[in-house]
Amino acid sequence: MKILLLDKNHPLITEQLLSKNFILEEDFTSSYQEICSKIQNYDGVIIRSRIPLDKNFLEQGKNLKFIARVGAGMENIDIPVAEKLGIKLINSPEGNRDSVAEHVVGMLLILMNRLFIASNQVKNGIWLREENRGDELLGKTVGLIGYGNMGKATAKRLYGFGCNVIFHDILPNLSDEFATQVSLEELKENAEVLSLHIPLNEETNYLIDEKFISEMKNKFYFVNTARGKNVKTKHLVDALRSGKVKGACLDVLEYEKSSFEKLESENDDLNFLLNSEKAIVTPHIAGWTHQSKQKLAQVIVDKIVDGFC
């Protein structure tokens, strides 16, 4: 099988697939149009986020048997068209679930205990104790939306902090020793921390908006390591200003490019987040550890080998 690699990833992908007699070609620089013009020559493609695999692309790939994304989200692929054409879709959420879960907990601890703020103050000769009194995770009810790989890994860690973890998911009967499944209404009634672990699709686009926030009974901390467009930023900023949202931990932003390489635009809402003590913002790195890079690649290799050797 002939496979085209469109993004740089861990070298084990190349090493291990070559050892299984796959034919590999790399193209990390050609444009969308250039890739479309030659994609019919390949049986498979391995991507991260650089090129959108839309209807036109997929129809040009007349011999494609699989698309493998080194990551979890598949929104860059026209899934209905791929399925109609019989192209197998492969992703690797198992590979970075642990790094995402640790990032969630890390951001919450930093935000709730004012660690960056207090550290910067001390480094500048300011010694404030009462003003930097923290807020404990212990005993808080954490609501997760989505209980796949990322949600489960996050629940396991928060359970260890003594949190009461509840979650809502579209699939039934997912409760385990770390978290209890509830209706969305029950989650809104009880959660003091809200964390998203969902894909981006028609149902989840701008899921967190003014209406959703108003339906949360408690003031709450908010965490998003899923996709930026799961959240209407203006409505989140309004809630931060009003105090309904006590603080926000954002690894993803509505204003990111589809390739996640940089921000598309700047505006007053983004500037508020970047300058507010109530927000922590990181550059889409929750699943981006040294360990996850290798694990993501290994999952992809294993799935390709299992499916096509």
202 as an active site residue: the answer is no
168 as an active site residue: the answer is no
284 as an active site residue: the answer is yes
Question: Rounded CA gap, 103 and 252, in Å?
Answer: 12
* Of the candidates 47, 144, 69, 42, the residue with the CA atom closest to the CA atom of residue 101: 144
Contact 92, 70 (CB under 8 A): yes
Q: Residue 249 is which amino acid?
A: C
What values do phi and psi take at 42, rounded to 5? -120, 150
Instruction: Identify the active-site residue in 256, 264, 266, 277.
Output: 256
Instruction: Identify the active-site residue in 69, 114, 227, 235.
Output: 227
Sign of CA dihedral 174, 201, 47, 228: negative
Torsion of CA 167, 168, 173, 179, to 10 degrees: 0
Q: Which residues of 200-239 are buried (b: 16+ CB within 10 A; e: fewer)?
A: beeebeebbeeebbeebebebbbbbbbbbbbbbbebbbbb
The two structure tokens encoding residue 20:
């299984």
The gap from C-alpha 244 to its chain's centroid, in whole angstroms, comes to: 24
Match 């070298």 to its residue by tokens: 11
What values do phi and psi take at 47, rounded to 5? -130, 165
Give me the active site residues, please. 227, 256, 284
